[in-house]
Amino acid sequence: MQFNNKETRLILEDGSIFNGYSLGSKKPVAGEVVFNTGMVGYPESLTDPSYRGQILVLTYPLIGNYGVPGYEKEDNLLKYFEAEKIQIQGLIISDYSFNYSHWNAKKSLSDWMKEHKIPGIYGVDTRELTKKLRKKGAQLGKIVYKNEDIIFEDPNKRNLASEVSITKPITYKKGKNKVVLVDCGVKNNIIRAFLRRDYTVVRVPWDYDFSDEKTDGIILSNGPGDPKKCKQTIKHTKKAMTKNTPILGICLGSQILGLAAGAHTYKLKYGHRSHNQPCIEVGTKRCYITTQNHGYAIDSKTLPEDWREWFINNNDDTNEGIIHMSKPFYGAQFHPEASPGPDDTEFIFDMFTRAMKR
C-alpha cells in the first residue's frame, strides 16, 4: 500500500484513516482517541496519569517548539513533570517543530518520546479529526507504522487506576500536620501543593484501607478511566465518611466521592480536556477558568439530599464539583493544582486546609 511517504497511520474504529509522519517511537499501539485544546503544557499533559490508555490529539497546531525540560527533582518529585514517565499511549499533532528553543529545554519532544517508547504522528489534519471526535464522540483507535497492525482495545474496560497507582505507601515529610493522599493516578503538583502548605503527605495505593488512618484529612486523587472500577477505594471512602474526617476529591477522586455518597456516574461523549474550561460556582455568578482532563462525570440528579452541586460547566452544564451540606466533604471535577493551565481555583486547597484545622 502506498502512503506517499506518510508511513504512519491513525485508524479509528469507524474505519477513518489519517496518514502522517512518524514521531517518537515506531511501534503500533491501541487505545481511546481523545483531544486536548490546550495551547501549551505538553510535558505536563503527556505525563498526567489520567491519560493512561489514551491516544492524545493536541489541537494546537505547533507542538515541540520549546522542547522538554530535564529531570531535576524537588521534595523527591520530578520538578517539571506530573509523573515519572510519559503516560499517554500515543500522540497525534499537526505540525512538529524540529527546532526547539527554551532556557530549560534539555531534549526534543521526539527524543523524549523515543526514550519512553511512545509513538506519535505529525502531519495530521487535527482539525478534521477533532471535529469527527466531537460529532461521534471519543473513539477507539490505533497507531500503525508501515504494514504493522494491532487490534483495537478499549482501555476503559480495565481498572486503569490500579495500573498507575503506587504499590506501597510513600511519605513526603514536611510539617506536623498530615494528610493521606489516595493515589489513583495522582499528579505531582497535588503533592507539591500540600508540601508548600507545610503538610506531611502520606501517599497510599488506590486500594489501601485508609479509613482508620490517624490523619487531618484525606485526598482522593485524579486518575484515569471509569471510577466504578475503583471498588476498593469507594468502599474505604464510605467508611471514612462515617468518621467526618475532611475529604477532598479531585477529578476521578470527586467521582469516587460521589459514588461513595450514593450518586451515579456516566461517560461523557468526548470528555473535557483543556486549560480553559469555564466553571460556575453554584449560587453565584462567579466563573472560574479551569484545567480539566476527564471522560466521566457525576450525574447531579442522583446526588443524595444532604449533598449539592458545587460547580457546573458553563459549556454543557455537566457537574464540576460536589459539596456536603454539613460535613467537610468536597469534590472538584477540575484540577485546582493546574500544571498546566490556570491556578484560579487553588483556593480550594486553602479552604480544605482550614477544614482540616477545625
Residues 100-118 pLDDT 10s: 999 999 999 999 999 999 9
Give CA–CA dist 146/166, Å, rounded.
36
Domain end position, chosen among 108, 137, 157: 157
Give CA–CA dist 74/80, Å, rounded.
10
Q: Are residues 34 and 130 in the same domain?
A: yes
Task: Report whether 150 contacts 28 (CB < 8 A).
Answer: yes
Catalytic residues: 251, 335, 337
> At how many degrees (to 10) do helices 347-356 and 188-196 cross?
60
Q: Are residues 110 and 20 in the same domain?
A: yes
Domain end position, chosen among 157, 185, 220: 157
Give CA–CA dist 316/261, Å, rounded.
24
Give CA–CA dist 240/7, Å, rounded.
53
Does a structural domain hold residue 2? Answer: no
Range of the domain at 305: 160-356
pLDDT (0 to 100) of residue 204: 98
DSSP state for residue 138 in the 8-state scheme: S
pLDDT (0 to 100) of residue 3: 38
pLDDT (0 to 100) of residue 358: 78
Cell of 173: 515529610
Q: Are residues 64 and 122 in the same domain?
A: yes
329 CB-near residues (< 8 Å, 6+ apart): 241, 246, 247, 257, 261, 323
Q: Are residues 211 and 309 in the same domain?
A: yes
Q: Which of 34, 6, 274, 4 is nearest to 121 (CA)?
A: 6
Q: Are residues 27 and 55 in the same domain?
A: yes
Domain end position, chosen among 139, 157, 175: 157
What residues of the chain score a pLDDT lower than 50?
Answer: 1-4
pLDDT (0 to 100) of residue 5: 65
Task: Report whether 14 contacts 136 (CB < 8 A).
Answer: yes
354 CB-near residues (< 8 Å, 6+ apart): none
Give CA–CA dist 347/28, Å, rounded.
42
Task: Report whether 142 contacts 28 (CB < 8 A).
Answer: yes
Backbone dihedral angles phi then psi of residue 156, each to the nearest 5 degrees:
-70, -10
Q: Are residues 149 and 232 in the same domain?
A: no
Q: What is the CATH number of the domain that holds 298?
A: 3.40.50.880
Give the global pTM.
0.96
Query: pLDDT digit string (tens) for 136-186?
Result: 999 999 999 988 889 999 999 999 999 999 999 999 999 999 999 999 999
Task: Report whether 331 contacts 254 (CB < 8 A).
Answer: yes
Q: Are residues 264 and 317 in the same domain?
A: yes
Give CA–CA dist 338/289, Å, rounded.
10
